[in-house]
Structure 1
Amino acid sequence: MSTPPAQTDVLVVGAGPAGSAAAAWAARAGLDVVLADAAVFPRDKTCGDGLTPRAIGELQKLGLEDWLRAHTVNQGLRAHGFGQTLLLPWPGGSLPAWGSAVARTELDDHLRTTAIKSGATAVDGIRAVDVRMEGGRVAAVVFERAAVAGKAHYEIACKRLVVADGVRSPLGKLLGREWHRDTVYGVAGRSYVTSGMSDDPWISSHLELRGEDDEILSGYGWIFPLGTGEVNVGVGTLATAKRPANIAIKPLMSFYADQRRDEFDLHGELRAPTSALLPMGGAVSHVAGPNWALIGDAAACVNPLNGEGIDYGLESGRMVVDVMAAHDDLSGAWPAQLREHYGESFSIARRLAGLVTVPKVLPTFGPAGMRSDWLMTLALRWMGNLVTDEDRDRSARVWRWAGRRSLARDARPPFA
């Protein structure tokens, strides 16, 4: 649109998976919705592009299964490391038993289109630069659009504000969001490259990620087939304030890709290399106010054990609409909902991920784990948080049990 609407029931800032899901669900609930983004779509986003069964389940709820199945479908994870290669099918349970991978340029554009078809009004190319408060509530958001003769400013008044503007969350910062780096966070890079294994039915992760000096790093490398003639190649490492990641991520990614060229039939130079810093496991505070809420990456809804965030973005976009329908004041209700849904799993996951940053932990325990298909299948389910409240099997009960005890020991619980 050339000029944004002046007011709306629900204003969603950020049109990634979280924002578009929130806009779609709010519009389907009969609300007037504006979905705004600083970029002009289609646009790229730093991501591994992988869609785990948890993300597939949310996309099914949005009615996108047929669209997804027209893309690549994968059976599970091919895990490499410490002299072993294991094929680990997706564990299923109450979640779908398949995954996929779609480049974010296409995925995000399609999700935004889904929100528009659901009834949301989308405006791109406008950046949120300020908020106008009235009585402690957000009355309006001020946007800026670059124009030929300077910058044009717009104000959109709203009854409710959903902040989904990504890991840096500039609008969240204006509202008081704070990222706490005492718990684990991620540093990741991704690129694309032509591959003869673009139709491989398995995603691959190398759990023994080594640097150019042959040292084992606290992270992993991945190769995700896209079914387009290319694969997504990337690396991610873990860090904390005490043990920061002093790694040049793009050179490490190139080194990793060069090591895998023959095995994965990679050809040519890496395309569109990008990197990002990832707050994880709910390591942010002030995620809501009386009539506003942070979701997705802005609320650090990222799995500390695998860096996955698309599924949590889609989930939190759906959940925030339910919470808005049930509560007039979101300042306590939304953090409580996030902690109820993610607190236990995020707490134990970031505790385990923090252990991986301790020198010698991964070299000591990694080889033992990779010698057991059973242990690695269990690890895949736990690392991917492929456990839902509906699951009653033993491994699900153990994961929830560990999460409850971890949460009780947290000096700062997730989202606090």
Structure 2
Amino acid sequence: MTVPTATQADADVIVVGAGPAGSATAFYLARAGLDVLLLEKTTFPREKVCGDGLTPRAVKQLLNMGVDVDAPGWVRNKGLRVVGGGLRFELDWPQLERFPDFGLVRTRQDFDEIVAANAVQAGARLMQGVTVTGPVLDDRSGHVVGVTTKDGATYRSRLVVAADGNSTRLALGMGLHKREDRPMGVAVRTYFTSPRHDDDYLETWLELWDGDTLLPGYGWVFGVGDGTANVGLGLLNTSAHFGNIDYRVLLKRWCKAMPAEWGFTEENMTAPIRGAALPMAFNRQPHYTRGLVLVGDSGGSINPFNGEGIAYAMETGEIAAEVIERALRKDTTPAHRERTLRTYPQVLKDAYGGYFTLGRWFVEAIGKPGVMSFGTRHGLPHPRLMRFALKLLGNLTDRRGDASDKIINALSKVAPPA
């Protein structure tokens, strides 16, 4: 196999995409002493469709990378407020050893820029406004040895990381297509000037109706703390109605049903309604092939239980960096390097495979008529059950925690990863 040497390459590793996954990967690789080139097609600051809410799982990753979450602009929250079945109650984030007991809100307008700047501070080289069009392959081995860009440039490296999101050109260029047996979601959101901008809880609504049909998904109201609230909804493709709904119209109709004093009107809208696909449960595999590593949305690492992507983007970036750092050590042979990189997909399956399988079963169940209604009607009145559900849906457990932790961990272990 012909691989660029350190003197021939523009970097040890090229990371394509400076979202949370790419920037986390670049941060950990640079901190390990590797020369990292981080390529971002847009320029910061830039908008990104997201709920902007961060669970304690995501907060842990920010703290691990040394991001100052006490700086201005970060809004803390205590937990989740759940609305449904005529009930409204608040669930505090669980007290755990592995995770902090608070969440955050920060708009993607500057969240991604903060995480990317953190990677640069660690030593990564960031180039903005560079659109990667595809991989460069070695003529003899077929391995990825670099990338081409829209402006005709070529950048070469010993390894390439695809962090370019759901529509990843790199993975497609290597023949890695989406798995049809994995759930997909769609999220739409906008912002309103609203008194709901300041809230100690992330608020989720478990009942989304399209006429007389209860849809599998949820709505949210996340206060941003700057006078606006992020208001949106997420839906799953396990419903027969998926693809036949105008999600923007559904969001507008949902907002009109809200209390007038919240101000969710078109006059108070500060941004257009935008949507994005949510690739879930490892819907693109394998996560390593011939010199290309997939992280974040590129590999479909979104949690199918709750649609959370940022935490898993940063986590898969950290895991990938650990494997890559071992593979590219100076004393490793090409054969050993390849063997090490090929362990990455299994490492991900060991970490998330069983849990994501549980999530797939969950979304398949709530996509069936009546199941979502039954669960909302009979589950919400039981606080203990809802605290268990918060841990399960948020993947927030300790390894040696209480009974609920042990049940969730055991289920994740016995569920077959795929």
Same fold (TM over 0.5): yes
1:143 to 142, 149, 167: 149
AA at the equivalent of 1:59? L
Task: Indicate if the aligned counterparts of 1:187 and 1:245 stay in contact, CA closer than 8 A.
Answer: no
RMSD: 1.9
Provide the C-alpha distance between the structure 2 equivalents of 1:74 and 1:250, rounded to a whole number of angstroms.
27
2:384 to 352, 363, 374: 374
Which residue does the alignment assign to 2:114?
110
Superposed displacement of residue 242, structure 1? 7.0
Superposed displacement of residue 97, structure 1? 0.6
Task: Indicate if the aligned counterparts of 1:41 and 1:109 stay in contact, CA closer than 8 A.
Answer: yes
Aligned residues: 396
Which residue does the alignment assign to 1:264?
262
Gaps of 5+ in 2: 1-7, 328-336
Closer/same/farther in 2, CA of residues 305 and 263 from structure 1, 3 Å limit:
farther
310-319 vs 272-281, which deviates more? 272-281
Superposed displacement of residue 290, structure 1? 3.8
Structure 1 segment 303-382 matched on structure 2, within 5 A: 303-327=303-327, 328-329=337-338, 332-382=342-392
AA at the equivalent of 2:134? D
2:56 to 44, 53, 60: 53
1:384 to 383, 394, 401: 394
SS of the residue corresponding to residue 272 of structure 1 reads coil
Provide the C-alpha distance between the structure 2 equivalents of 1:194 and 1:129, rounded to a whole number of angstroms.
38
Provide the C-alpha distance between the structure 1 equivalents of 2:368 and 2:351, rounded to a whole number of angstroms.
28
Matched, 1:170 2:169: yes
SS of the residue corresponding to residue 358 of structure 1 reads coil
AA at the equivalent of 1:21? A
Task: Indicate if the aligned counterparts of 1:183 and 1:240 stay in contact, CA closer than 8 A.
Answer: no
Matched, 1:219 2:225: no
Matched, 1:403 2:402: no
Task: Indicate if the aligned counterparts of 2:194 and 2:268 stay in contact, CA closer than 8 A.
Answer: no
Gaps of 5+ in 1: 145-151, 408-412
Matched, 1:21 2:24: yes
SS of the residue corresponding to residue 179 of structure 1 reads coil
Task: Indicate if the aligned counterparts of 2:87 and 2:380 stay in contact, CA closer than 8 A.
Answer: yes
Which residue does the alignment assign to 2:278?
278
Closer/same/farther in 2, CA of residues 254 and 222 from structure 1, 3 Å limit:
same
Structure 1 segment 177-326 matched on structure 2, within 5 A: 177-211=176-210, 213-240=211-238, 244-262=242-260, 264-266=262-264, 268-270=267-269, 271-326=271-326
Provide the C-alpha distance between the structure 1 equivalents of 2:80 and 2:71, rounded to a whole number of angstroms.
18
Provide the C-alpha distance between the structure 2 equivalents of 1:177 and 1:21, rounded to a whole number of angstroms.
23
Provide the C-alpha distance between the structure 1 equivalents of 2:385 and 2:268, rounded to a whole number of angstroms.
36
Provide the C-alpha distance between the structure 2 equivalents of 1:44 and 1:158, rounded to a whole number of angstroms.
29
Provide the C-alpha distance between the structure 1 equivalents of 2:165 and 2:213, rounded to a whole number of angstroms.
32
String of CA shifts for 1:217-236, please: whole Å, max 9, x gaps.
Answer: 11100001111111110011
SS of the residue corresponding to residue 232 of structure 2 reads strand
1:100 to 100, 104, 116: 104
AA at the equivalent of 2:62? L
String of CA shifts for 1:359-378, please: whole Å, max 9, x gaps.
Answer: 11111221111101111111
Which residue does the alignment assign to 1:147?
none
The two structures have a TM-score, normalised by structure 1, of 0.91
Superposed displacement of residue 122, structure 1? 0.7
The two structures have a TM-score, normalised by structure 2, of 0.90
Task: Indicate if the aligned counterparts of 2:78 and 2:101 stay in contact, CA closer than 8 A.
Answer: yes
Higher normalized strand content (fraction of residues): 1
223-232 vs 256-265, which deviates more? 256-265
Provide the C-alpha distance between the structure 2 equivalents of 1:185 and 1:37, rounded to a whole number of angstroms.
25
